[in-house]
Structure 1
Amino acid sequence: MPQSRFVDSGRWLPSFAGEFLVRCPRCPATATVRRGWDREARWWEPAAVTCGGCGFARRQDRRAGCECGRCRRPLPPGWSGPVRVCVRGHCGTCGSPVRVWRREEAAPGYRTVTVDCATCGATAESGYDLHPVTVPDAVVDNCFGLPLRLQAPCAGHTLWAFNAAHLAYLEDYLRAGLRERHDAPAKSVISHLPRWLKQAGVRAEALRAVRRLERLLPAL
C-alpha cells in the first residue's frame, strides 16, 4: 500500500490568521474571532470577536500592529492576554543601560516598576511599555489574547491550531508517510513546527490529540 504524501505548499501561519476559535471570556462556549484582509493596504482589518452562546461581542477600533513575532508592537486594542513588561532606559545614578523584559499573565495595574541597576545596584521606579505575548509563547489568538479553543496536551507539550482549516492542514502533515518541502520558503507553517512535533515517535499521540480537537468542531 503506497504511503500518503504531504508536500509543503509554503503556506505561512498568517494565512490561517483570519479566524480564531477561542474560549469565550464570559461563558463556557466557543467564541470566534474574525478579521478581513485589506488587499490595498496589505494589512489586517480591525478584528471582532463574537460568541453565539452568551452574545458576548467586542470589536477593535483600529488596526493591530505587526505580528511578525520580532517587533515590539504595542498592545492591540482590547487585549486581555499575557504581556511582556519592558523597560529600556539608563540608571539615574551611574548612567548604565537598564533593561527589564518580563512576562505577566495580564496587563499590570501599576504605573511603575521597580528597577535594579546591575552595575551599581541602585534601585528606582520606572515607567514601562507593554507588548503582547502570542503563539508560540502563549496559546492565544493574535487579536485579543483569548485562549485558543483548539489546544490539547501532547507528548509533554501543547498541540494547537487557530481554526478548523489550520487543524486539517496539521493533520495532513502528521498522517503523511512521505513529507516533501521542495521550494517551500523558510517561513512556512511546516518549517516553523516545533521539533518535537516532527519526530516520528510522537505521530500516533499527535494524531490522537488532533482527533480530540476535531470532536470540538461540530459543536461550534
Structure 2
Amino acid sequence: MKRGGDGRDYNLCWALSAASRQQLVHTDPPAPVEPPWLPHAEARPDSPRARHDSAASRRRTLTSDVGRLGCTVSSMTAVENGNAGHFRDPKYRLGGLAAGAILVRCPRCAGQAWVLRDPDSADDSRHHFWLRRRLSCLECAFTDVWNAPRRPGDNARTLPDFSGPNDPYFQLPLWLSVDCRGRVLWAYNAEHLDLLDAYVSARLRERGRDMGGQTLVERLPAWMKDGRHRADVLDGIGRLRALLP
C-alpha cells in the first residue's frame, strides 16, 4: 500500500477515480426535457395538437384492424421468384384483392379513408363478398357501414361491382388512382399495386395453370399490356406508390 505525505492511500484514490470514469462512460445521458404544452391548448378539442393526436390514434387503430383481420399486404413482385424479367400469373382475381383493405377518398373531407371487413360481421357465408364492410376516415373520423344489398323478389344478396375505378362496396373514388395515357390507372391496395408492377415490369409473361374464369391479369386493358406503354405505366405505378400510407 502506497501512502503519501498527507497520509492518503493513493492506490485507493486511483481505483475510485477509475471507477468514477467508468461510470461516466457507461451512464446514458439524461433525456432532454421537452417544454410542457399549455394546459388550455391541450384541453381544447379543436386545437391543432388535439386534431393531430386524434388522427394519429385513428391511424393506429386502423393499422391494428388491418393486421387483425388478415389484411396485411404482401409483395407480389417477380423479383421474389429470382427473375425480375419473368412473371407468372398467380391467378388473383379482383374480388380476392377486395377482401383486404381498400384505400378510398372520404366522401366528407376527400382525405384518405379505409374500407375494411367489419370484425363484428358474422361469417355465416362461404363468400367474403357479402360480409359487412366498414368505412373509416383517417382525417375527419367519418364512418359508414355497408351491408350486401338484397335483390327484389327473391331477397337474394347481390355481388358487388369489381370493375373499378371505384371501390366495389361504397362506390367511392379510390385513393390509388391517377391519370395515365389519357386513362385511369387504379389499384385497391398495395398488394394490387405490387401485382400490376410485377406484370408490367416483366419482359416474359406466363399465363400460369388454367383455373377457369378470367384472372385480374387476363382482364387488364390492352393499353396496359402493350410493351410500348411500359415506361408510362410504370411511371403511373410509381405515382400510385407515392400515395401509399
Deviation of 1:40 (Å): 5.1
Match of 1:46 in 2: 132
**The 10-residue stretch of structure 1 (160-169 or 177-186) with the greater mean CA deviation from structure 2:** 177-186
SS at match of 1:32: strand
Answering whether residue 178 of structure 2 is matched by residue 152 of structure 1, we say yes
Residues 176 and 188 in structure 2, CA contact (< 8 A), matched pair in contact too:
yes
Separation in 2 of the partners of 1:216 and 1:65? 35
RMSD: 2.6
Deviation at 1:140, TM superposition (A): 0.7
**2:148 pairs with 1:63:** yes
**Aligned equivalent of 1:7:** 88
- Among residues 102, 107, 115, which one is paired with 1:20 in the alignment? 102
TM-score (norm: length of structure 2): 0.56
Q: CA–CA distance in 2 between the matches of 1:43 and 1:3?
A: 34
Q: Residues 7-156 of structure 1 correspond to what in structure 2 (within 5 A)?
A: 7-18=88-99, 19-35=101-117, 41-44=125-128, 45-60=131-146, 62-64=147-149, 134-136=161-163, 139-156=165-182
Report whether the alignment pairs 1:209 with 2:236. yes
Query: What is the match of residue 6 of structure 2?
Result: none
Percent of counterpart pairs with the same letter? 34
Distance 1:14 1:75, change over 3 A: closer
User: What residue in structure 1 maps to residue 225 of structure 2?
Assistant: 198
Which 4+ stretches in 1 moved above 3 angstroms? 36-40, 73-76
Name the aligned partner's letter for residue 222 of structure 2: R
The worse-fitting range, judged by mean Cα deviation, of 22-31 and 179-188 is 179-188
Amino acid paired to 2:148 = R
- More strand, by proportion: 1
**Alpha-carbon distance, 1:43 to partner:** 2.0
Unaligned 5+ runs, structure 1: 67-72, 77-131
Structure 2 residues without counterparts, runs of 5 or longer: 1-82
Alpha-carbon distance in 2 for matches of 1:143, 1:180: 32
Amino acid at match of 1:55: A
When the two structures are aligned, how many residues end up with a matched partner? 153
* Cα-to-partner distance string for 1:133-176 (whole Å, 9 max, x where unaligned): x453x521111110011111112211110111101111011111
CA-to-partner distance for each residue in 1:83-120, whole Å, 9 max, x for gaps?
xxxxxxxxxxxxxxxxxxxxxxxxxxxxxxxxxxxxxx
What TM-score, normalized by structure 1, do the two folds share?
Answer: 0.62
Larger Rg over CA atoms: 2
